[in-house]
């Protein structure tokens, strides 16, 4: 059997409840849930359901989580893949894999296709082309554009794509009838960090009265993924000291550890 480029999941349990903060983004994307749940309501009036939306924001802010929640809320299958896989894993067959993906999604429609790191495949064409270019990537991108244009108005497949580099994307991707909506997913502010802590503290055995306001204040600049990491790390630290419940000091130690990791990461980048 041939290796698949994409992952297909039905019965997604993620809902908007799992996504803390991001009120604006949730509100905007709620519309897509409505389209998927009840397409006729819109098409009966002659409207065209959007084919795609771009989720734009820094790493770890919940773009994947939000896309998954759309599938969970609408109760539709979730086809996901990463833009970097197109370019790295399937040299020579990117375009045919894209065709395959859309074919499968249409058969199971209504459905969501989620493309993470779309910039890996969707960078502007015709740049850095000195060495003969990256034909493989361009073929794949062209096929993606073709598929999006080829959707009938009632194919009921909506493509969500995530990037933290909307500025490098080929403008053709953003044209009307493709990814013509952008939804911004920013780093959380202090109030949103508190909410994210509450989501990720819920499954932990912890001491009573943990102050999530305090934890939120201790973590400026942290993404949702960083906060999820802090919570997990705190539980591991507590376990190492044979504690019965995770306490405030474990969280502070975990924050220090994550800050250390972030500083190291930034040093490598700059």
| Nearest to ligand ATP of 48, 217 (CB atom) | 217
Selected binder of ligand ATP within 78, 157, 224, 233 (CB under 6 A): 224
* Residue 63 interacts with ligand ATP (CB under 6 A): yes or no: yes
The sheet with strand 181-184 has its strands ordered as: 7-9, 78-82, 111-116, 157-163, 52-56, 181-184
In 3-state terms, what secondary structure has residue 112?
A: strand
Q: How far apart are CA 73 and CA 33, in angstroms?
A: 7
Is-contact 108 143, C-beta < 8 A?
no
User: Which residue of the chain is nearest ligand ATP when measured via CB?
Assistant: 224
Q: How far apart are CA 36 and CA 104, in angstroms?
A: 17
Tokens 């969280």 correspond to what residue?
Answer: 251
Selected binder of ligand ATP within 225, 252, 259, 262 (CB under 6 A): 225
The pair of structure tokens assigned to 192 is 């949103």
Q: Which of residues 121-180 bind ligand ATP (CB under 6 A)?
A: 162, 164
The pair of structure tokens assigned to 103 is 């074919």
| Nearest to ligand ATP of 35, 114 (CB atom) | 114
Task: Select the span of 37-45, 83-91, 167-175, 220-228 touching ligand ATP (CB under 6 A).
Answer: 220-228
Q: How far apart are CA 119 and CA 82, in angstroms?
A: 10
Task: Select the span of 13-21, 87-95, 99-107, 251-259 touching ligand ATP (CB under 6 A).
Answer: 13-21
77 among annotated binding-site residues:
no
Q: How near is the Cβ of 17 to ligand ATP at its closest, in Å?
A: 10
* Residue 61 interacts with ligand ATP (CB under 6 A): yes or no: yes
* Residue 26 interacts with ligand ATP (CB under 6 A): yes or no: no
Q: How many residues bind ligand ATP, per CB under 6 A?
A: 19
Count helices and strands in the chain by DSSP H and E runs? 11, 6
Q: How near is the Cβ of 117 to ligand ATP at its closest, in Å?
A: 7
Q: How many CB atoms lie within 10 A of CB 143?
A: 20
Q: How far apart are CA 113 and CA 106, in angstroms?
A: 10
* Residue 69 interacts with ligand ATP (CB under 6 A): yes or no: no
| Nearest to ligand ATP of 18, 100 (CB atom) | 18
- Chain-centroid distance, C-alpha 197: 19
In angstroms, the Cα distances linking 193 to 190, 197, 198 are 5, 6, 9
* Residue 231 interacts with ligand ATP (CB under 6 A): yes or no: no
Task: Select the span of 18-26, 126-134, 143-151, 234-242 touching ligand ATP (CB under 6 A).
Answer: 18-26
Residues at the contact surface with ligand ATP, assessed by CB under 6 A:
19-22, 59-65, 116, 162, 164, 196, 199, 224-225, 228
Q: Which residues are annotated as a binding site?
A: 57-64
């Amino acid at each position: 059997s041939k290796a698949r480029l994409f992952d297909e999941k039905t019965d997604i349990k993620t809902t908007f409840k799992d996504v803390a903060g991001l009120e604006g983004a949730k509100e905007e994307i709620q519309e897509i849930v409505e389209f998927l749940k009840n397409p006729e309501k819109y098409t009966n009036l002659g409207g065209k359901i959007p084919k795609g939306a771009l989720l734009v924001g820094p790493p770890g802010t919940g773009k994947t989580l939000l896309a998954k929640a759309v599938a969970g809320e609408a109760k539709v299958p979730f086809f996901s893949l990463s833009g970097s896989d197109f370019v790295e894993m399937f040299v020579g067959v990117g375009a045919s894999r894209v065709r395959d993906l859309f074919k499968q999604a249409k058969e199971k429609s209504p459905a969501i296709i989620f493309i993470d790191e779309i910039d890996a495949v969707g960078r502007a064409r015709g740049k850095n082309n000195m060495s003969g270019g990256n034909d493989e990537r361009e073929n794949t991108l062209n096929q993606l554009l073709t598929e999006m244009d080829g959707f009938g108005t009632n194919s009921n497949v909506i493509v969500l794509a995530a990037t933290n580099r909307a500025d490098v994307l080929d403008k053709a991707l953003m044209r009307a009838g493709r990814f013509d909506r952008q939804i911004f997913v920013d780093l959380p502010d202090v109030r949103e960090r508190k909410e994210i802590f509450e989501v990720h503290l819920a499954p932990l055995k912890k001491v009573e009265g943990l102050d999530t306001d305090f934890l939120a204040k201790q973590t400026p600049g942290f993404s949702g993924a960083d906060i999820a990491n802090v919570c997990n790390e705190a539980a591991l630290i507590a376990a190492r000291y044979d504690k019965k419940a995770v306490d405030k000091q474990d969280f502070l130690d975990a924050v220090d550890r994550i800050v250390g990791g972030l500083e190291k990461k930034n040093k490598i980048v700059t």
